[in-house]
Structure formats: C-alpha cells, structure tokens
Amino acid sequence: MTELNDSESVHGTSNLSASSVSSLAHFIDQVTMLCGPTQVQVGDAIEPRFLQPARYGAGRAAVMVRPGSSAEAAAVLALASRHGRRVVLQGAHTGLVRAATPMDGQDEVLLSTDRLREVFELDLLDRSLRVSAGFRLSEVNERLAAQGLWFPVDLSADPSIGGMLAHNTGGTRMLRYGDVRANTLGLQVALAESADPAGQVVRFGQGLQKDNSALALGQLFIGSSGSLGLITEATLKLSPLPRQRAVALVAPSALDAVFPLYQAVMQRWGVLVSAFEGISRAALEAGLHGQDLSRWFSGALPDYAMLIELSSELPAEQLDLRGLLQGWLEEAFESGAVSDAVLDADEAIWGLRHRISEGLRAQGKVIGLDLSLPRRHFMSFRERGQAWLAHFPQLRLADFGHLGDGGLHFNMVWPASAGALEPAQELTLRQGLYALVAELGGSISAEHGVGPQLQAAYRAHWAQVAPGVLDWSGRVQSVFDPNRRLGNTEWGA
Amino acid sequence: MTELNDSESVHGTSNLSASSVSSLAHFIDQVTMLCGPTQVQVGDAIEPRFLQPARYGAGRAAVMVRPGSSAEAAAVLALASRHGRRVVLQGAHTGLVRAATPMDGQDEVLLSTDRLREVFELDLLDRSLRVSAGFRLSEVNERLAAQGLWFPVDLSADPSIGGMLAHNTGGTRMLRYGDVRANTLGLQVALAESADPAGQVVRFGQGLQKDNSALALGQLFIGSSGSLGLITEATLKLSPLPRQRAVALVAPSALDAVFPLYQAVMQRWGVLVSAFEGISRAALEAGLHGQDLSRWFSGALPDYAMLIELSSELPAEQLDLRGLLQGWLEEAFESGAVSDAVLDADEAIWGLRHRISEGLRAQGKVIGLDLSLPRRHFMSFRERGQAWLAHFPQLRLADFGHLGDGGLHFNMVWPASAGALEPAQELTLRQGLYALVAELGGSISAEHGVGPQLQAAYRAHWAQVAPGVLDWSGRVQSVFDPNRRLGNTEWGA
C-alpha cells in the first residue's frame, strides 16, 4: 500500500525511550501516509487541547492522528493493531473521567474524531438523524432547530456526538427525555483488531425505532468510556422542540419537604415535567457569583432550592404551563411546603444553574463526585455524607443535582487558602463517600463514565456489590478488544 | 447433596431413545429432589399448555420443571449444565417465534418461570418496581393501578414479565413510552454454566435511572429470545397512569395522505400522541367480525384507517384532548386529507383493533410477518409486497400495524377453502417479502424476537445486510453460553 520507512520521525520532537523509537517512527510514517501530514502531530508538537482535559492534569501521547472519515479511522485502528499500539479515542475532550486523555506518553496513539463529519442525514418522517461522531451537540441542535426538532440530551458542556454515546450522557432534562441510550437508534463501530488493512466496520442497528431481529450488541458501546470500539457514527432519535417552557426556582420550607413536592409534581404533570433539579445553598451562591440575583428571594438565600421546569409541544393558548405552575406554587405556599419561589425568569434561572461548576472552580480545587441514588436514600446520603466531611474541616460541600432522575453532583471545594490537598487525603475522602454510595444502592458514576479517574473505585465498588459484573465485563471486553488496545478503562477484575 | 438414583423415571412415560434413558432418569431424580415432585413433569405427562404455543404446532420436551425461586432456578441450570442438558426457558408461552417451545422432545429440559413470584417491591418515590419474572403483565398493572401507576408496554397478549424482557416487546403505545428496553432499569440473570451446584446469579444494573458505572451487559439479555441467560427478575420503570384519553378512528382520503397526517399530528402534539396505528380494510373487516360497527363510517369501509390516541396526565378540565382531536379532524376534513372519522368510542375502537388477529385466524391459516420499516419506505413496501403476493392468488393481505413506530404486522390469510399451504410455497412467500425488507432497510422482526421460527431468515438477512452482526453475536453468545445450552436460537453465522 505504501513504501515503508524506518527513519526517525520528523513531525515533532518527543521524549521516547530508545526501544520504542523505530517502531513508533514506522507507525508514524504509515499513519501519515494514510491521513496526510497535516493530520498527524507527534510528541511535544501535539496541540495542548488534545492533552488537557476539562478537569485534572494534562496527559501525554506519542502521536495524535485525526482521520477524515470512518474508513480512514478504521484503517488507523487496523494499522495500530498491526503495530501492536494502544489507541486512546477522543471526541471534543469535554469528559470528566480522563477516558479520552492519553495517560502514557511513551506509547499511546491518540485518535481524535474531530474530522469525522461525513454524514448528516436527517429523516423528517422518522424524526431521526444519522450523524458522524465528530459533530458537536450544539451544531446538531442548531441545524435541527429550523425543522422544529432537537436531540434532547441537554448538557452544560458541548461534547461531540461520539463522546456523548461513549459516555451515555444524561443531562438536565433526562427526567423527560431519557439518556443518550434511550435516544439512540443505531450506531456504526470501527473495531479494535483487524487483519484487513482497511479495518473492520460494523453497523449495529439500522436506525429503526422498533427492531428485535438481532442481539443488542450496539448497546455495549454506549457508555463504554471509549473502550470496545470506536463509534464512528450514530442514528439519533429526535424530539419535537417544545413550544413553551415554564421554570420556577423554589425554596422548600424544609429539606424533608423536597421529595413529597417532587412526587406531587410528577403525579400531577407526569411527562410535562422536563427538569427537577436540587441546588444546595453553597451551590446557589457559586451560581450567583458576580450576579445580583439575590433579590429573587425575599429573605436570605434558602438552604436548598429546586429548579422545576414544565415544557410542552402545545402553545400556551392551548395549555397554560405558567398558570399551572403558578397555581400549584400558590397551593404549596399556603400549605407551608414552600417558603419562597421565583417564576418568570427562565433564562436567568438556567444561567444560574449552569454557572455553578464555574463558580465553584473559582473558589478552589473542586472534588466532584457524579453519583446517583435511589431517591428514598438521597437525603440520607446527603446527611451521612456531610457527617463524613466533618473529618475534612476545610472542605466545603456545594452539592447540586438532578433530583428528578436521582443524580447528585456531590461537589466539594478545597479552598485555595487551605494549601494543597494531599492525594492520600483525597483518596480517603472519596473512599468514604463511595462506601456510603455502595451501602445505599447507588452509583459511583451516574453520567460521567469510568475511565482512569474512576478505575480503582469501579473495581472496589463492584467487587463489593456484585463481583460477577467485573468477571463478565472483562470477558465481554476480551471479545471486542482481546489485547486491550482501545481506551484506558479495564472492565475486568 | 442428594442420594443419586439411576433407576428409570416414574414421573411419567416418555418415548426416549435407549441411549439417553439413564442420564435423563438421573437428571429427573435430581431435579425432582430440588424442586419437589409436583413441579416436575416428564415426557407425555407434560401438560399441553407448556408445549402448545399461541401460533404454530406443539413441541415436545423430555422434562418440564417449575422452580419456585430464583435460587432454585439457578440450581436447575447448574444441574443441567453438569448433566450436559439443553434447557428451553418459558414464561407465559405467549410468544410468536417458538422461542419458548421445546422443539426436540428427546433431549430438552423445559424450564417454566411460572412460579418465580418471590419479589414484588414497589418504590413509589423512584416510580420503579422490582418484580420476579413469573408475574404476568396484567397482574402487575392491576396491582399498580391503585397507586396511579402502570408499566406502559401495552399488548393484546398477557405475557410474563420475564418473557417481555426476553423479547423486548413494543406494543401499541411504544410511540409514547418506548419498548421494554426503554422501561427496564436493571435485571437479575441466572447463567447457563456453573461449577457451583447453587448456580450463578448476577444482577446487572441496580434499578437506578441514571447509572454509567459499568458496561451495559444487562442490555444483552433484553431481546435475546430466551438465550444467553435466564432473567429471574427485573426492575421496571413505571409511568403515571394517564387521567384521560381521546381516541379517533380516521379514514384518510387517500393512502398518500397517511404519513403527512402522521407528521402533522406528531409535530403538533408530540408526546401527547400515545398511539398511531394503521389498519387495512381487510384487517378492519376482521376486527369487526360479528360486530355491527360498520355504522361508524358514513359510506363503505375505507381502504385504510388510522387509530389515533392522545393521552395525558392532566385532567380534561386543564387540557381538552377530545376538543384538540376534534378541532384537528375538522380542519383535516375541510382540507380534504380526511374523508371520514369516528370519535367518542375509545373502548369500541381499541376492541376492534385487538380483535383483528382473532378475526383473521377465523378466516384460515394466518401467515404473520412482524416487520418494521423506515417510515419513508412504509407505503412502498406495502405496494411492492402486494405485487409479490400476486404470485399467491389465494392469499389475502390483511395488514395492520404501528405506523407511529414504523411497525407493520404484514399478516396474510390462506383461506381454509384453498386447501393446505405447502411449506415450500410459504417459504418462497416469506423469502420474497424478507428480501424486500432487507432492500428497504427494514427489520424482519420488529417486536417478536427470533427463535426457531425466524432462525433461517435471521441468518439470511444479516448475511446480506451486515455479516459482522452474525460474527460478533455468535462470539458474545459464546461468552455467556459456550455450549449452547439455553434456548433454541443460534445468533452466530
């Protein structure tokens, strides 16, 4: 196919160990011939954005390659397989568990899906979109808006579609629309190993809404944290854009009023409820950072607040969502369950919600746990979690989360003024909280995935909760990636 | 554990070949000690209901066993594994692909989940139900109604929960609520092989709504047609019962008005649309069988009709669904897209819909294809399918289906008066239609699963459409059931 060349790479400098130089140079030459010299970066010449994740320290890779099509991506994997090289897959690099960040600069190939943008096929009658992995969520929704449609997995970040599938993101409106899994009708995968230089691409699911004519293998890749295979495209299920929304920020009279209010809202409005978020006072303060929105509340900031959103495809003339919400709030106020509430400020309320993470980062080092819990244990986890934090007096809890789906961003800030947080101390902190999650039947990763960041916690959690999960997961990973070339998550024991 | 006994079984008579007698007798003794003599039936003594499926001829099994708990079921599988026996899994035996019908009486063990009824744990705050596989759908929904909840996968049949998961049923309201997969939060599986006499039970998913802390192995068992493992219990996602429904039976002015009407309805009402069915004239006639409902239509029965249902958690005082539907129908009538319509007869309309299958069976032998298609090819499939049927002049097409999700029950009747339909002729008929499905990007099994009935068609379909699917499915099946002991579906090439 190409002339082989064993000479040292000229695409950049890198601190490679002597033993790996010649084979790496050979690989680089071949991958350069495949994707073109402008799409290959080597060692120290790799742009920082490919190495620096949104959270945690930068990684290092031997080489970064950006194939321009599914076929090219499959060929890169085949090449890596022939050369015995490990490949880390990266979308928009917005993930929070380092699953897309190469951790071992001596050895790893970084494959960016940035340029996988061949397919964007909208089927209006099926309300589905076949789309390449490299498109960003924001781009997809901008293009769909003109048709009155959207992909309703709604996030503060702007990931690639491939990254969203690999991590099965949930977001703020999951209560109404479900996670990525519930909105995916099929996907195409380039597999890890192939004897054919063209690689191996398989389509799992043909994009139909109803299909039981095969095993659900495609489901395995959704939420696999960039292991098992490279998702090169997906067929997404779209939803009609709502024609109206009504949003309220509501302070309960006491913490134990929160879930009864949640239950009342769900029983009353069901599918009209598109978000039900909980925000602690410390998180509220972080979200208000630099904004004078404290006028919203008649008194001081409440200890806890709920963000409640109703939405509908019907226009307000046919269904008065704002009126429904207001009527209910008045009742709840009179009954004493609610002490304060704000309506009529949708943009400002969501702005506050989406500024929390940034506001917390401004206060110091954020230790963010992305948990979910059975709702009956949600408040008890908060309480017992706070008790555990008493061992770390400098730490400040600023939790918020998706009460509606049981998700809890149990985020804590270690203030800059407290000096460095020792890794051993952070480990102790996390282990105590994860043990509590396991005890209460919760998840240590609600929507962020596993990756190197949670690798040890993953293993410890399942070894305790259900060891069979580790055993069978390792076996299934071995089917698709027997030599562990893809990604940096080990699913086995 | 028990005293072994190699003497011939006394639990019933059976026509076993001499070579398998002693080991079968041994197995029967052991399984009888495990589950008790009243829960084991042998050979000809097996009750017909366990052998006679809803469609197609009866099967035969060597022995039928009904374990009384998940633990007992796991032990039965372990015993079968030690004895090298194949096991067919059966729920309520309502499936339509013979996946739960033992086909080889010489050899197979039939495991009925009838008595798996240990767990029924409702979590009102999570709106979830942990339930044993043996419960029937109707029982589950009867128990839930008092709480204003239901499991919204709505079928004419009354399967067991385990059977619903094994076949990932869709039903008439899938458009609004999704299939079983979309409404399952976790499951527990007893696996095929185990060195431990107690067997091996693993829980995949803890019943949380948001969880990405493991590979999605549980998804593999959903829709596996009773292969890979025995689902002993599941955690189901429940929905609030709607407080109102409005149903119309609508005759379009022409066939090509159907999908524009569908699109208009979806864009206008979105998630309020809980059913959108299509019914051909022949199917209408079958559904009307013995009922004088022809008065509904002002003229003759239309060539095609649509069943449209809106539903909502809101009461009619807050949202007038009937008014919305009526207003839209008046517009559609004036615009000429609709020629006739009936409102205000919900029970009667659904009754008609659910009587179609029975009505067709009264006319002769039914050849039922459970297809789905991209909606843009739906009408073209109908047209070209009908053209193919011209080769079989005695056959009468009476199709109906779930236009809303692309599902099509392409059912045909071979009238009793036409004599027997030769198997070779039926095969030719089916092959022609399946080839058309493949060409148009459809599914040969939308919601019934695969099983022996579709085994050959499955292999032919994927060999043509995506051979990798066969290859990888076979490998995954080998992980969980290396010796092919469970069920009667082979997923490999």
**Spacing of C-alpha A379 from chain mean position:** 24
The residue ranges of every structural domain in chain A are 18-112, 120-240, 244-356, 363-448
CATH number for the segment(s) B363-454 = 3.30.70.2740
CATH number for the segment(s) A120-240 = 3.30.465.10
Q: What is the pLDDT of residue A293?
A: 60
Q: What residues form DSSP beta bridges with A150?
A: A239
- Whether residue A491 lies within 8 A of chain B, CB to CB, comes out as yes
Q: Which two tokens mark B108?
A: 């197979």
Decide: helix, strand or coil at residue B343. coil
B207 contacts in chain A (CB < 8 Å): 374, 441
CA distances from residue A439 to A460, A462, B121, B132, B170 in whole angstroms, order as listed: 13, 12, 19, 23, 35
Quote the CA–CA distance of A188 and A211 in Å, as a whole number: 16
- Whether residue A215 lies within 8 A of chain B, CB to CB, comes out as yes
B472 contacts in chain A (CB < 8 Å): 202, 217, 479-480
Q: Where are the beta strands (DSSP E) in A241-337?
A: 244-252, 273-280, 304-312
Residue of A178, A222, A312 with shortest CB distance to B216? A222
Say if the Cβ atoms of B208 and A442 lie within 8 Å.
yes
**Does the structure show a pLDDT above 50 at A4?**
no
CATH number for the segment(s) A363-448 = 3.30.70.2740
Residue of A202, A220, A450 with shortest CB distance to B469? A202
pLDDT 10s digits, A97-113: 999 999 877 789 999 99
Do the beta carbons of residue A207 and residue A183 sit within 8 Å? Answer: no
Which residue is associated with the tokens 């998961």? B165
User: Which class would CATH give A244-356?
Assistant: alpha beta
CB-count exposure of residue A440 (10 Å: 0-12, 13-18, 19+): middle
With both helix axes pointing from N to C terminus, report the angle between B467-480 and A467-480 in degrees, rounded to the nearest 10.
150
- Same CATH topology for A18-112 and A363-448: the answer is no
**Does the structure show a pLDDT above 50 at A437?**
yes
Residue of B123, B207, B217 with shortest CB distance to A472? B217
- H/E element, B207: none
Task: List the single residue in A with minimal CA-CA distance to B243.
Answer: A268
Q: What is the pLDDT of residue B293?
A: 60
- Whether residue B173 lies within 8 A of chain A, CB to CB, comes out as no
- H/E element, B452: helix B451-465
Task: Give the CATH fold of the B244-354 domain.
Answer: Alpha-Beta Plaits (3.30.70)
Buried b (16+ CB within 10 A) or exposed e, B262-276: beebbbbbbbbbbbb
CA distances from residue B19 to A18, A71, B83 in whole angstroms, order as listed: 66, 54, 14
DSSP character at residue B314? S
Residue of B239, B240, B372 with shortest CB distance to A211? B372
- Phi/psi at A337 (nearest 5 deg)? -80, -25
Quote the CA–CA distance of A64 and A80 in Å, as a whole number: 12
CB atoms within 10 A of CB A294: 12
CATH number for the segment(s) A18-112 = 3.30.43.10
Distance from CA of B76 to the nearest CA of A (A): 19
CB-count exposure of residue B143 (10 Å: 0-12, 13-18, 19+): middle
B373 contacts in chain A (CB < 8 Å): 208
pLDDT 10s digits, B385-433: 999 999 999 999 999 989 999 999 999 999 989 999 999 999 999 999 9
Q: What residues form DSSP beta bridges with A413?
A: A366, A396
A462 contacts in chain B (CB < 8 Å): 214
**Which residues 371-430 of B are in CB contact (within 8 Å) with A?**
372-376, 402, 405-407
Quote the CA–CA distance of B105 and B17 in Å, as a whole number: 10
pLDDT 10s digits, A367-378: 999 999 999 999
Residue of A213, A216, A402 with shortest CB distance to B445? A213
ipTM of the complex: 0.94
Say if the Cβ atoms of A208 and B373 lie within 8 Å.
yes
Kindly give the confidence (pLDDT) of every residue in chain B, 493 residues in length, as a single tens digit, with 9 standing for 90 and above. Answer: 333 333 333 344 444 444 455 689 999 999 999 999 999 999 999 999 999 998 888 999 999 999 999 999 999 999 999 999 999 999 999 999 999 999 877 789 999 999 999 999 999 999 999 999 999 999 999 999 999 999 999 888 999 999 999 999 998 999 999 999 999 999 999 999 998 999 999 999 999 999 999 999 999 999 999 999 999 999 999 999 999 999 999 999 999 999 999 999 999 999 999 999 999 999 999 998 767 666 677 777 899 999 999 999 999 999 999 999 999 999 999 999 999 999 877 788 998 998 999 999 999 999 999 999 999 999 999 999 999 999 999 999 999 989 999 999 999 999 989 999 999 999 999 999 999 999 999 999 999 999 999 999 999 999 999 999 999 999 999 999 999 999 999 999 9
Q: What is the pLDDT of residue A104?
A: 75
**Which residue has better confidence, A290 or B316?**
B316
Closest by CA to A488, choosing from A60, A67, A98, A37, is A98
A201 contacts in chain B (CB < 8 Å): 468
Q: Which two tokens mark A39?
A: 């799409």
Distance from CA of A295 to the nearest CA of B (A): 33
Quote the CA–CA distance of A158 and A139 in Å, as a whole number: 9
Number of H helices, E strands in chain B: 14, 19
Say if the Cβ atoms of A208 and B319 lie within 8 Å.
no
Distance from CA of B204 to the nearest CA of A (A): 7
Closest by CA to B208, choosing from A276, A446, A205, A287, is A446
Say if the Cβ atoms of B212 and A168 lie within 8 Å.
yes
Q: Which two tokens mark B401?
A: 């289906």
Distance from CA of A373 to the nearest CA of B (A): 7
pLDDT 10s digits, B327-375: 999 999 999 999 999 987 778 899 899 899 999 999 999 999 999 999 9
